[in-house]
Copies of this chain bind each other. A is one copy, B any other.
Amino acid sequence: MSDSYTKLLLLSKQTALLASTQRLLEWDQETYLPQGAIEIRSLQLETLAHLIHKSSTSRRFAKALERLISIETGHIHNDQLSPQQAAALREWRRDYLKAIKLPASFVKKFAETTSKALHIWAEARRTNNFKLFLPLLEKIISLSRKKADYLGFEEHPYDALLDLFEPGMTSSYLTPLFHQLQMGLRDLLNRIPSKPRGEEGLLKGPFPPSQQIHFAQDLLKAMGLNPLYSRLDQSTHPFCTDFHPKDVRLTTTTHTESPLLSIFSTIHEGGHALYHKNLPEEHYGSPLCEAVSFGVDESQSRFWETFIGHSLCFWTHFYPKLQRAFPEQLERLSLEEFYRVINRVEPSLIRIESDEVSYSLHIILRFELEKSLIEGSLKAKDLPEAWNEKMQTYLGVVVPNDRLGCLQDIHWSMGAIGYFPSYALGNLYAAQLFATFEKAYPSWREEVSKGELLFIERWLCEKIHRYGRQFTPKELIFRSTHSPLQIEPYLTHLNERYSLENFFRT
């Protein structure tokens, strides 16, 4: 390794160590922080954020970077570097340019506004009062528009925001893709036979939380997570974070009435966790040891949650174990009934409770709305009306109030405009990866029905995890699936799983 590269890596590692410490503060806030300590926690987070920004934009760092790559042109001076190192330089430069484009005063104002907005949004949602949230939403939209200007874009201001979550993604690429997807999903929804109601009622609790956690831990072990380097805790909203590939933390949540949320959030977060544990540790401190995008990260969780975790073969192995964990509660529910319960399709109001088929429609709706808000073609005050209209058109659902409508998600109050598309992209990436995986392992169902899951992790590691940010998301998907992003694999999968003749196939 060249001396200059080593020096740059060392500087960047300091920033990475601070960033991981910041994530510990956040993890603790969601898991163990005493409720009365929330204010002091905000101050600790602010202090860390300030130091991280300072460290990643320092003149010392810029000089060390410039020694290897021209910050202006992206030209790499040193031809002794490995392809990985060259890729790391490209990504370091990308991050640096983004970081210096936003003035410190703007970053501060943005953070203050969203911090306030978070509280107000929670109150507005609780009291079903959109007008309370409106002034903050307007401010966040105008600040986000300004952010886009600072960051720069070629065609659409929304692209600058998208790029923060999915590097290289543009709205001119997404718009037709999502339109096509929307048509396909709506068509599918119309064709899916309506399922007998009341199947959820088949799950009769209570399901003691401690047993749910025990079962969740067994699932994670089977997926390939080692408790030596990871841990599962509980939080209101499940999430996954990492401080290093050797310290990955995930959470789940339990409801005594049903074990399903705990099970599927565990599998979902477990998919993220495997990605983060398999990032190349030897590059810790460089972008090579980071997830490439929110969409690809989400593809890993959705691959596990929907393609593996909602398959019949998965439960062929795990359902008897679940029955042993809850013998009284599940003794009369057959595997086939359980499978139908977990795969019920029924469009509903709330994104995070929605089934696999309608989920992406919730996302497309949000994408279209936030794009319009950013370009100014939709005014914030008209959001509820536009939301409700789209819900009716796309999902056939009537929104009774804003609490169950446009106030349901936290993202906008956090200033995370441009985030939502990652969820739908995650589904598409996952489906395309899964189609490739199925070709590589035509007999995967047999293995999985025997409880063998480790070959799945190995395959995903080989195709996705081990690269970190070495390739762009687009390159990575092309390399691993030999095809640019398509919607067909996703629609094919859904058609397969939910067509009448297949649904009851065992």
Residues of A in contact with B (beta carbons under 8 Å apart): 13-14, 17-18, 20-21, 24-25, 28, 32-37, 39-41, 43-44, 47-48, 51, 226-231, 233, 243-244, 246-247, 284
Contact = CB atoms under 8 A, between A and B. Distances in A.
Contacts of A231: 32, 34
A17 B45 CA distance: 9
A44 B21 CA distance: 7
Given A32-B233, A37-B229, A246-B34, A44 B17 contact: yes
Q: How many copies does the complex hold?
A: 2
A187 to B, nearest CB: 46
A33 B105 CA distance: 36
A47 B18 contact: yes
Given A39-B246, A40-B247, 15 more contacts: A18-B47, A20-B40, A24-B24, A24-B25, A28-B28, A32-B32, A32-B231, A33-B247, A34-B228, A34-B229, A36-B226, A36-B246, A37-B247, A40-B244, A40-B284
A44 B228 contact: no
Nearest to A21: B44
Contacts of A18: 47
Given A21-B48, A44-B17, A47-B21, A34 B244 contact: no
Contacts of A47: 14, 17-18, 21
A44 B17 CA distance: 5
A41 B17 CA distance: 9
A41 B34 CA distance: 23
Nearest to A15: B47
A47 B244 CA distance: 15
A267 to B, nearest CB: 20
Given A17-B44, A43-B17, A47-B17, A37 B244 contact: yes
A363 B421 CA distance: 64
Contact of A246 (B37, B229, B233, B246): B37
Contacts of A226: 36
A446 B51 CA distance: 54
Contacts of A247: 33-34, 36-37, 40-41
Contact of A243 (B13, B37, B246): B37
A229 B25 CA distance: 16
B44 A20 contact: yes
A284 B32 CA distance: 22
A17 to B, nearest CB: 4
Nearest to A22: B21
A154 to B, nearest CB: 38
29 contacts: A14-B47, A17-B44, A21-B44, A21-B47, A21-B48, A24-B24, A24-B25, A24-B44, A28-B28, A32-B231, A32-B233, A34-B228, A34-B229, A34-B231, A34-B246, A34-B247, A35-B228, A36-B226, A36-B228, A36-B229, A36-B247, A37-B243, A37-B244, A37-B246, A37-B247, A40-B243, A41-B247, A44-B243, A51-B51
